[in-house]
Amino acid sequence: MSSLVRRLPLPVPLFALFLGAASVLGFAPFHVYPLPLVTLALLINLWRRAGPRRAALLGFSWGLGFFLAGVSWVYVSMHEFGGMDAPLAALATLLFCAYLALYPALAGWLFARFKSGAVGRDALFAAGAWTLTEWLRGWLMTGFPWLSLGYSQAPGSPLAGYASGFGVYGVSFVAILIAASIAALLIPPPSSSRNWRQLLAVVLLLSCGRLLYLMDWTHPVGAPLTVSLLQGDVAQSMKWDPERLQQSLATYARLAREHPAELTVLPETALPVFFDELPAGYLRLLTQNGPVLAGVVVRTRSGGYTNAAVGLEAGAPLGAYAKSHLVPFGEYVPAGFSWFLALMHIPMTDFTAGPADQPPLSLAGQRVMPNICYEDLFGDEIIRAVPGATLLINLSNTAWFGHSLAQPQQLEIAQLRALETGRFMLRATNTGMTAAIRPDGVVAAVLPAFAVDALTVKVQGYAGMTPYARWGNALIVVIALACLLPALARRRASPLPR
Active site residue 97: no
pLDDT at position 2 is: 47
Do 315 and 413 have their domain in common? yes
CATH number at residue 431: 3.60.110.10
User: Looking at the 3D structure of the chain, how many domains does it have?
Assistant: 2
Identify the active-site residue in 80, 97, 239, 323.
Answer: 323
Q: What is the mean pLDDT of each run of 10 residues along the chain (498 residues)?
A: 52 94 98 98 96 97 98 90 87 96 98 93 97 97 96 98 98 98 84 81 96 97 97 82 87 97 97 94 96 97 94 96 90 68 66 95 97 96 95 94 94 98 98 96 97 98 98 98 90 56
Q: What's the length of the chain?
A: 498
Do 276 and 251 have their domain in common? yes
User: Domain range for residue 29?
Assistant: 2-216+473-491
Q: Is residue 41 in some structural domain? A: yes
Do 242 and 326 have their domain in common? yes
Contacts of 134 (CB under 8 A, 6+ apart): 103, 145, 148, 149, 169, 172
166 and 173 in contact (C-beta within 8 Å)? yes
Angle, CA 131 vertex, CA 68 and CA 435 arms, to 5°: 65
Active site residue 277: no
Do 234 and 285 have their domain in common? yes
Do 460 and 487 have their domain in common? no
Helix, strand, coil fractions of the chain, as percent rounded to 5: 50, 15, 30
What is the reported pTM?
0.94
pLDDT at position 345 is: 63
Active site residue 331: no
Identify the active-site residue in 262, 331, 373, 420.
Answer: 373
Eight-state DSSP code of residue 329: T
Identify the active-site residue in 268, 331, 375, 420.
Answer: 268
101 and 67 in contact (C-beta within 8 Å)? yes
Contacts of 68 (CB under 8 A, 6+ apart): 21, 93, 94, 97
Report how far apart the first and last C-alpha atoms of the chain are (Å, whole number): 22
Q: Is residue 498 in some structural domain? A: no
Do 93 and 157 have their domain in common? yes
Rounded Cα distance between 266 and 264, Å, is: 7
Do 369 and 458 have their domain in common? yes
Do 199 and 227 have their domain in common? no
Do 285 and 311 have their domain in common? yes
